[in-house]
């Protein structure tokens, strides 16, 4: 099983995907929930913001100044 996972990771890297370590933890600036992925991520004024859901990402996008200073 481990060899299959390593093989899959190598194939994904060939297509430009990367595997990030699990220790990436971010706090959603809208709801305060901890998130570990960058599926819901935006850049605002040179800084990356990570969200737990598309809903929180949309809330931030609608009025980023309410959340960017947090």
State how far the alpha carbon of 18 is from the alpha carbons of 8, 11, 40, 70, in Å: 11, 10, 16, 29
pLDDT digits (tens, 9 = 90+) for 13-56: 888 777 665 567 899 999 999 998 778 999 999 999 999 999 99
Domain ranges of the chain: 18-68
pLDDT at 37: 78
Model confidence at 64, pLDDT cuts 50, 70, 90, reads very high
């Amino acid at each position: 099983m481990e060899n299959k996972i390593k093989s899959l990771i190598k194939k994904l890297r060939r297509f430009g995907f990367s595997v990030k370590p699990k220790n990436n933890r971010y706090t959603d600036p809208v709801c305060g929930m901890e998130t570990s992925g960058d599926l819901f991520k935006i850049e605002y004024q040179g800084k990356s913001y990570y969200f737990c859901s598309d809903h929180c990402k949309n809330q931030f996008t609608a009025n980023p100044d309410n959340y960017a200073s947090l």
